[in-house]
Structure 1
Amino acid sequence: MSRAAFLLLLTLPVAALSQSLPESFTTGPAIADHGPVAPQPDDAFNLVPGETYRILFDVASGSADTHVLNRRLESVARFVNLHARAGIDPEDLQIEVVTHGGTLFDVLSREAYRERFGVEHPNADLLEALMEAGVTIYLCGQSASARGVSAEELAPGVKLAHSAMTVLVRRQSEGWALLP
């Protein structure tokens, strides 16, 4: 198992916690309003400073039509923040997210989401923050086609892929670490 995958396994229980985390969990420094993490000792197992890591998050579950923050997308922000706090330069993290299935509507633009559901988009600010931090986000074209979502409805910066499977196969063949 790669170091990045091991670290994700350690952080997944945090994603399952309720929204009320202990006060020791705070956001930043890389993503100011998302991705709360708790401080760890300086000698805690970490990524190696100065190395470049290419990480692909496979995000297939989410809020669909429940109008809540997608915890898997929030985990991507957590990953960025926890490593930035631990001395890993965010420039050394090449992070991509491929969304499909239940995350289809979570990557719509604010306008498209409001038009479809009549409520504000709960993930819009998170999407913007992730992309501002250098995270690339793809939507599975097959999921989009199956649910009648056009490329014009996607949040600014979200890219359409032929399929999630295509992104997963290609990036893994290029040596990216997969975080399911």
Structure 2
Amino acid sequence: MKYLMFASALLLSPLSSASEPVITGFGNFYNVPEHVSINDSTKFKIAFDVDKAAKEGEQNNAMNSLARFINMHVAHGVKPENIQLALVVHGSASVDVLDNSEYKKRFKTDNKNQNLIKQLLTNNTVVYVCGQSATHYKVAPEQLIDGVQMSLSAMTAHAQLQQQGYTLNPF
């Protein structure tokens, strides 16, 4: 039983890196001692798609994937300036990019995604919300977290990002 508890704790504990994470409080990852090497000249330009909202007052784990991507790769030698990410938010997740004051008016609790989004925005990440979904969920541009941009649609954002050389994260 003690061995099982130790093994479970080991599997669930994130990598303790000598350096501080780029995105603090988010983006835990596991150490993989043997992996295909990544060198310091590696460059990433990736779009992430998020369409499902978190439960009210909870963090959106799909959005946290961007923080995990940044922290994991920087900890393994990729230069932060070589990581360019885009977050395209649509569907019910449109409410997860509401400014905290607006979120609190709707759900009577804080938006646990605001700090994450703000840190992503200061770390080579652009964030778009689908204008079609935002309109459906009654999210106006002035209600968004500062720096989040309204796109005509998620389809438009993805098409434009692809033209700029972004690849789409497959999950």
State the TM-score, normalizing by the size of structure 2: 0.84
2:113 alignment partner, one of 123, 126, 134: 123
* Residues 93-137 of structure 1: CA deviation (Å, up to 9, x unaligned): 111110000211100101110111111112111111211222111
Bigger radius of gyration = 2
Aligned residues: 158
- Amino-acid identity (%): 32
1:66 alignment partner, one of 56, 59, 78: 56
- Letter of the aligned partner of 2:28 in structure 1? P
Rounded Cα–Cα distance in structure 2 between residues aligned with 1:46 and 1:115: 47
Could you say if the C-alpha distance between residues 160 and 144 of structure 1 is closer, same or farther in structure 2, counting changes exceeding 3 Å? same
Check conservation: 2:56, 2:107, Cα contact below 8 A: no
Q: Does 1:29 align with 2:21?
A: yes
Check conservation: 2:40, 2:77, Cα contact below 8 A: yes
Q: Does 1:51 align with 2:42?
A: yes
Name segments (4+ residues, structure 1) moved above 3 Å: 24-28
* Residues 60-105 of structure 1: CA deviation (Å, up to 9, x unaligned): 1231x53211000011100000000110011001111100002111
- State the SS of the aligned residue for 2:74: helix
Check conservation: 1:100, 1:164, Cα contact below 8 A: yes
Check conservation: 2:132, 2:153, Cα contact below 8 A: yes
Q: Name the counterpart of 2:147.
A: 157
Which residues of structure 2 form unaligned runs of 5+?
1-10
- Letter of the aligned partner of 2:31 in structure 1? P
Could you say if the C-alpha distance between residues 172 and 71 of structure 1 is closer, same or farther in structure 2, counting changes exceeding 3 Å? same
State the TM-score, normalizing by the size of structure 1: 0.80
Rounded Cα–Cα distance in structure 2 between residues aligned with 1:55 and 1:121: 25
- State the SS of the aligned residue for 1:160: strand
- State the SS of the aligned residue for 1:121: coil
- TM superposition shift of 1:33: 1.0
- TM superposition shift of 1:46: 4.6
- TM superposition shift of 1:24: 3.5
Aligned CA-pair RMSD: 1.8
